[in-house]
């Protein structure tokens, strides 16, 4: 019968392998596991620079417990089994963390995105993530400052809602920053002279960011939806 869950000793091998610079494929070979299993394990538990065997083992146990006791049953006829939703939520959170968001803020954002309502109270977030109310308060303040969630008042409780508007603003800010890189690099290339090594280096950098900006602007113009629109069902 094929193995499924990694055990604590295997996680120690992963942690040790990452610390010594081994690649995912080599770690997988030493454990006789698929490389995809190793990459998912690392992504769910801190990434290549933050992975710790003990933390990963405890976190996996907590996720398994939540999937058994803390999530609603999947609607009939869907693939939204609690364990599947929980695994996706954790993986999605790790991607957001890699984007640069603090861990608790990323987990809140991921959880809001996988709920049908797109909203939770602070108490519901604290219970789901098993963190303190203070941690939730700090994280949602950060998300509000980035305009990634909005706060509403409901029955004397704060409710936090996620929407597409914040991510669209984040995309536009990234576009603006890339345009600044383009302009600065090309100005530097003209200043140094294109026939000098420094000028050629800056020119290449500027042309790269000009390409990135062109692609991003094209994608923005082609995107047919605006915040709040939905596909017909």
Residue 158 contacts by C-beta under 8 Å, 6 or more apart in sequence? 121, 122, 140, 151, 152
More confident residue, 50 or 66: 50
Residue 148 pLDDT level (bands cut at 50, 70, 90): confident
* Residue 186 tokens, joined: 């090309």
The separation between CA 193 and the C-alpha centre of its own chain, rounded to angstroms, equals 41
Exposed/middle/buried for residue 2 (C-beta within 10 Å: 0-12, 13-18, 19+):
exposed
pLDDT recorded at residue 2: 44
Spatial distance between the Cα atoms of 74 and 87, rounded to a whole number of angstroms: 14
More confident residue, 163 or 69: 163
Spatial distance between the Cα atoms of 30 and 13, rounded to a whole number of angstroms: 9
Residue 220 has pLDDT above 90, yes or no: no
Q: What is the dihedral of CA 75, 162, 112, 230, to 10 degrees?
A: 20
More confident residue, 226 or 75: 226
* Helix spans in 80-230 (H): 82-98, 103-114, 122-129, 133-145, 164-192, 197-222
What's the pLDDT tens digit per position in 12-50? 999 999 999 999 889 999 999 888 888 888 877 877 888
Tokens 């789901």, located at residue: 128
Cβ atoms 167, 227 nearer than 8 A: no
Please state the rounded mean pLDDT for residues 180-193: 94
Residue 132 has pLDDT above 80, yes or no: yes
The separation between CA 198 and the C-alpha centre of its own chain, rounded to angstroms, equals 36
| In the chain, % of residues over pLDDT 70 | 84
Residue 137 pLDDT level (bands cut at 50, 70, 90): very high
Residue 5 contacts by C-beta under 8 Å, 6 or more apart in sequence? 60
Burial profile 12-39: b = 16 or more Cβ within 10 angstroms, e = fewer: ebbbebbeeebebeebbeebebeeebbe
Tokens 């603090």, located at residue: 102
Highest mean pLDDT: which of 24-38, 83-97, 154-168? Answer: 24-38
Nearest to 58 by CA among 121, 125, 130: 130
pLDDT recorded at residue 108: 93
């Amino acid at each position: 019968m094929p193995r499924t869950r990694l055990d604590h000793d295997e996680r120690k091998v992963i942690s040790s392998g990452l610390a010594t610079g081994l690649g995912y494929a080599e770690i997988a070979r030493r454990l006789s596991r698929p490389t995809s299993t190793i990459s998912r394990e690392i992504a769910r538990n801190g990434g290549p620079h933050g992975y710790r065997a003990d933390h990963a083992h405890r976190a996996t146990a907590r996720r398994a417990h939540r999937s058994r006791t803390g999530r609603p049953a999947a609607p009939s006829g869907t693939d939204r089994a609690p364990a599947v939703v929980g695994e996706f939520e954790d993986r999605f959170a790790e991607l957001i963390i890699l984007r640069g968001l603090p861990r608790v803020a990323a987990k809140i954002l991921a959880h809001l995105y996988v709920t049908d309502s797109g909203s939770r109270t602070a108490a519901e977030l604290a219970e789901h993530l098993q963190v303190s109310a203070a941690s939730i308060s700090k994280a949602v303040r950060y998300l509000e400052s980035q305009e990634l969630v909005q706060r509403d008042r409901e029955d004397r409780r704060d409710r936090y809602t996620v929407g597409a508007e914040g991510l669209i603003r984040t995309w536009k800010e990234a576009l603006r920053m890339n345009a600044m890189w383009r302009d600065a690099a090309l100005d530097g290339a003209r200043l140094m002279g294109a026939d000098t090594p420094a000028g050629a280096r800056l020119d290449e950098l500027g042309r790269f960011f000009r390409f990135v900006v062109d692609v991003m602007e094209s994608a923005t113009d082609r995107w047919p939806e605006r915040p709040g629109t939905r596909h017909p069902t």
